C-alpha cells in the first residue's frame, strides 16, 4: 500500500548495551514519530529502555504492545493480528512506525511476526538488522562460534535437547533460563557440560558470566544464552 501510507520498521536494538545499536537503527528511531514497544505484564518495556540509552525519544508517540506467551497457535495469531491492526491504523494515517526488538529482528523476533502480517496487508516494511544476543555472548566469553568447516547450530529452549546436542559443531542454546536445570541435565547426559558456558542478561547492568555450569544458582534470568563449543577451543577459559 504505497502513496500516503507510512512504513513499518522492525528495528533491532541488540541484546542489552545501548552502544550496540547500529547507526541505521538510531537514524530510523530518530525519524519515526511512533515507536511500538513490547511490554510485559508488569509494564516493563526492555527493548524501549535499551533504545532510550542511544536515542532521544522525547515527543514521540509510544505504542505499548503485549505479545501473548500462549502455546496455542490460534491465540498467538489473534494477538499478532490485533497488534498489526493497531499499527496499520497509524500507517494508514501516513505515520511511520518503528517497533523495537531485542537482539536481531531475523532471529526468534516478535517484531517479525508483525512485519510479516503488515507486509501481507500491502504496507511498506523494512527490517533493520542488529547485533544478535549470541554474538554478544560470544564476545563476553571471549570465544569464536565457528571454526573452519564446522557448522553453527542455533537452538531454542523448546527443542529436543538430547537430539540437538548430538548435532555437529558449536551449539547456541537460546533463552535457556526458564529451564536451566533441565538444560544442564541434558548437557551432562551428553558429556558436554565441560564444553559449555553461559551469559545471562548480556549487555545489561545485571549481566553475569558462568563458565562452570555445575555451579549455577537455583534460578537464573530468562535471558540466558549457553554456548556449547564443538571444536578444539572452549569458552570456559
Each residue's pLDDT tens digit, 106-159: 999 999 999 999 999 999 999 999 999 999 999 999 999 988 888 999 998 778
Q: pLDDT-based confidence at 234, cuts 50/70/90?
A: low
* pLDDT for the residue 236: 60
Going by C-alpha positions, the residue among 173, 178, 146 that lies closest to residue 160 is 173
Domain boundaries, the chain: 7-128, 133-228
Q: How far is CA 34 from CA 7, 153, 166, 194, 223, in A?
A: 11, 36, 45, 47, 27
The percent of residues in the chain predicted with pLDDT above 70, rounded, is 96
Task: Name the CATH architecture for the domain at 133-228.
Answer: 2-Layer Sandwich (3.30)
Mean pLDDT, to the nearest integer, of 21-47? 96
Question: What angle, rounded to 10 degrees, do the helices at 110-120 and 73-92 form?
Answer: 60
pLDDT value at residue 232: 60
* Predicted pLDDT of residue 8: 98
The model's pLDDT over 87-112, given as tens digits with 9 standing for 90+, comes to: 999 999 999 999 999 999 999 999 99
Residues 236/212, Cβ–Cβ less than 8 Å: yes
CB 111 within 8 A of CB 202: no
Q: What three-state secondary structure class fits 62?
A: strand
Look up the CATH superfamily of 7-128.
Tetrapyrrole methylase, N-terminal domain (3.40.1010.10)
For every residue of 115-130, DSSP letters joined together read HHHHHHTT-EEEEE--
Question: Tell me, what's the pLDDT at 231?
Answer: 64
Amino acid at each position: 500500500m504505497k502513496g500516503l501510507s507510512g512504513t513499518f520498521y522492525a528495528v533491532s536494538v541488540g541484546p542489552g548495551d545501548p552502544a550496540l545499536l547500529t547507526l541505521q537503527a538510531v537514524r530510523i528511531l530518530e525519524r519515526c514519530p511512533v515507536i511500538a514497544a513490547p511490554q510485559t505484564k508488569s509494564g516493563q518495556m526492555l527493548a524501549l529502555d535499551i533504545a532510550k540509552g542511544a536515542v532521544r525519544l522525547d515527543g514521540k508517540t509510544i505504542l505499548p504492545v503485549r505479545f501473548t506467551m500462549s502455546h496455542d497457535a490460534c491465540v498467538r495469531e489473534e494477538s499478532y493480528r490485533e497488534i498489526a491492526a493497531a499499527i496499520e491504523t497509524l500507517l494508514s494515517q501516513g505515520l511511520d512506525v518503528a517497533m523495537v526488538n531485542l537482539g536481531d529482528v531475523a532471529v526468534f523476533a516478535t517484531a517479525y511476526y508483525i512485519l510479516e502480517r503488515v507486509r501481507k496487508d500491502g504496507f511498506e516494511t523494512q527490517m533493520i538488522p542488529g547485533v544478535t544476543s549470541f554474538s554478544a555472548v560470544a564476545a563476553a566469553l571471549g570465544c569464536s562460534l565457528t571454526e573452519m568447516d564446522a557448522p553453527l547450530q542455533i537452538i531454542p529452549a523448546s527443542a529436543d535437547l538430547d537430539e540437538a546436542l548430538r548435532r555437529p559443531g558449536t551449539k547456541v542454546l537460546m533463552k535457556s533460563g526458564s529451564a536451566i536445570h533441565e538444560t544442564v541435565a541434558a548437557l551432562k547426559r551428553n558429556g558436554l557440560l565441560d564444553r559449555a558456558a553461559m551469559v545471562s542478561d548480556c549487555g545489561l547492568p545485571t549481566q553475569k558470566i558462568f563458565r562452570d555450569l555445575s555451579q549455577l544458582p537455583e534460578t537464573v534470568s530468562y535471558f540466558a544464552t549457553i554456548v556449547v563449543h564443538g571444536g578444539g577451543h572452549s569458552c570456559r577459559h
